[in-house]
Structures are given as structure tokens and as C-alpha cells.
Structure 1
Amino acid sequence: MADDVRNVLEALSTIDEHWQPHRLTSINDYDVKVVKLQGEFVWHTHPDTDELFMVVSGQLTIQLRDRDVVLNPNDVFVVPRGVEHCPKATDEVHAILFEPKGTVNTGDAGGDMTSDLHEFD
């Protein structure tokens, strides 16, 4: 995978389900994931890692307990480790996530929205 050129928009075009991250590539101990988001996710934390969101298209609100952070295309926001958050998108959002390999999308919350990491062929 390290020698392959990957196109973010092409990868996103193959994703059918929301909240199901797909590994685009990896760098060192981190995965670069693409995901489509719509609706409200679950409140959760990642106790051991920060989580970076970069919006490719649409508008993503990351709800924090003390404020909402609104991300538009090309905006980046890092949720610090241990901070409870809940992403939501009124309309479909395409995003890139950077997080350590093995990070579960629902963090400590678990539940029905927990996804196995999908791979591109």
C-alpha cells in the first residue's frame, strides 16, 4: 500500500454506508481513514489518543460538552484524548480521519455503531 497512489475522492465514491471508516493508507503507527457521515453519532471518548477530523465536503459539527465546533470543507480539528465528543452532520459529510492503528470509531462507548475497519482492494 505504501507505493500506491490513493485518491481521496475516488475512495469516498466507493463508500455506501455512513459512519463506516475505510483505511485509505497508513503512516507509521497511524491510519488515514475516509468516511461518509450523516446524522448523529454516539457520545464517546478515546481515552488514549487524540483524533483528527478533516472535512472534504459538507459541514460537520463536533459536539463537545462545553461547545460545538463547526467544520467546513478543508477545516481540521483535533479532539484531544479523553474529551467526550459526538459528531453530527445534518447533510452528508465526506471526511478524513487520522488516528492510531486499531482505534475503534465508537471509542469507549461501543454499541451498534461500532465498525470494523474496512479496507480498499
Structure 2
Amino acid sequence: MKPINITEKFTKFSKNWHPHQIAVVDDMQVILAKLKGEFVWHSHDHEDELFQVIKGTLYMQFRDRTEIVNEGEIIIVPKGVEHNPTTKNNEEVHVILFEKLSTAHTGNVKHKRTQTKYPKI
């Protein structure tokens, strides 16, 4: 039961697309990630995902459109919706994700960027 300094936690890792867990709330986890470039198309069959942009601009691609998510904004990706988080212009974007502990990093898609364990920081 101590405050968590988000800015300080972002200094503890540098690798893009490698989420780090900072807290657990019931069956939900709070994750920090640094994103750069394009990720991988995927969906989560049973879990929603919430992305909050802390730094930069996130481009959340859906099959029929792209939503621009600016600093201080959130976007919720409903379960079953295929999506691909992306950044542009070589910008590194910092995000907080809120998702169930059971959420697989890339859903049912296996990719070289897929992570199966999130380090705790």
C-alpha cells in the first residue's frame, strides 16, 4: 500500500514490446510497456484490454479503421476484436495497460514478439 511512481518505473526498462507488471488488482494486472513501430495483429477471445497513453501517440489499428490515441487518453479494445498497436515516425510511446491476469500477450497468435512472462518492477 505505497504509491507507485509511474515515471520512475518507466526508467527501469528500455526494451520495446516487453511489458512489465507493476501491480495486481484482484484478477487484473497493471502493465507498463514501451512501444515503437508496428506490433502484430491479434485479438483476445475472452478479455478486454485498456491502453492509456502516458507519452507519445498510439495508432490503434483495427481492420476497418485506425484510432489515434494521444497522451492522456485511453482506448478500450473489446474482447474478440482484432487489433494492432502501432507507432509512427520512429516515436517511442509509453503506455499503461489494464488487463486480466489470464490475458495472453498476443492472444492466440504466436510471434517472435510474444512474451509469456512479464517481469515485475
TM-score category (smaller protein)? over 0.9
Equivalent residues in 2 for 1:80-99, closer than 5 Å: 80-90=78-88, 91-99=91-99
Q: Which amino acid aligns with 1:103?
A: T
- Give, in whole Å, the separation in 2 of the partners of 1:89 and 1:15: 19
SS in 2 for 1:10: helix
How many residue pairs match? The answer is 118
The RMSD of aligned alpha carbons is 0.8
The match for 1:7 is 5
What whole-Å deviation, never above 9, does each CA across 1:53-109 have from its counterpart, x for those lacking one?
000000000100011011010110000000000000121000000000132211111
Moved over 6 A (4+): none
Percentage identity across paired residues of the two chains: 39
The answer for unaligned runs of 5 or more in structure 1 is none
TM-score, structure 2 normalization: 0.94
Say yes or no: does 1:42 pair with 2:45. Answer: no
Moved more, 75-84 or 7-16: 7-16
TM-score by length of 1: 0.94
Which whole-Å CA distance do the structure 1 matches of 2:78 and 2:120 have between them? 26
Q: Give the CA deviation at 1:34.
A: 0.5
Instruction: Report the structure, 1 or 2, having the larger strand content.
Output: 1
